[in-house]
Amino acid sequence: METKNRREFLKKSVLGISGAALLPSSLKIDTGADAFKTAPPELPSRLLGKTGISTPLISMGTSGVTSPGFVRAAYEAGIKLFFSATYYGEGNNEILVGEGLKGLPRDSFIVGTASSPDGLDTRSGTLSGNFSAQAYMKKAEESLKRFGLDHIDILLFPYAAKRETVLHEGILKTMEQVKKQGKVRFTGIASHGDTVEALNAAAASGIYDLAMISYNFKIQDLDSLNTAVANAVNKGMGIIAMKTTAGGGRDKSGSPPEISTALKWVLQNEKVSTIVSGMTSLDELQKNLAMIRDLKMSEQDMKDLKIASAGSETGLYCQQCRECIPQCPHNLDIPAIMRSYMYSYGYRNMEQAWFTLAEAGLPNDLCDKCETCSVKCPSGFNLKKKIADISRLRDVPRDFLLA
pTM of the model: 0.78
> What is the C-alpha to C-alpha distance for residues 186 and 306, in angstroms, rounded to an integer?
37
> What is the C-alpha to C-alpha distance for residues 85 and 42, in angstroms, rounded to an integer?
26
Judged against a pLDDT cut of 90, whether residue 95 lies above it is answered with yes
Per-residue exposure over 8-37, b if at least 16 CB sit within 10 Å of its own CB, e if not:
eebeeebbebbeebbbeeebebeeeeeebe
Q: Considering only 20-34, 119-133, 217-231, 300-314, which range has the smallest mean pLDDT?
A: 20-34
Mean model confidence pLDDT for the chain? 82
Q: Per-residue pLDDT tens for 162-216?
A: 999 999 999 999 999 999 999 999 999 999 888 999 999 999 999 999 999 999 8
> What is the C-alpha to C-alpha distance for residues 273 and 56, in angstroms, rounded to an integer?
8
Per-residue model confidence (pLDDT) at position 241: 96
Per-residue model confidence (pLDDT) at position 60: 96
**Mean pLDDT, rounded, for 320-328:** 78
Per-residue model confidence (pLDDT) at position 59: 97
Domain spanning 40-309, CATH class: alpha beta
Compute the half-sphere exposure of residue 324: CA atoms within 13 Å on the CB side of its CA: 25
> What is the C-alpha to C-alpha distance for residues 284 and 338, in angstroms, rounded to an integer?
24
Per-residue model confidence (pLDDT) at position 307: 75
Per-residue model confidence (pLDDT) at position 275: 97
Which of the four pLDDT bands, split at 50, 70 and 90, describes residue 16? very low
Most confident of the following: 192-201, 239-248, 362-371: 192-201
Per-residue model confidence (pLDDT) at position 34: 46
Q: Considering only 218-227, 240-249, 349-358, which range has the smallest mean pLDDT?
A: 349-358
Domain limits of the chain? 40-309
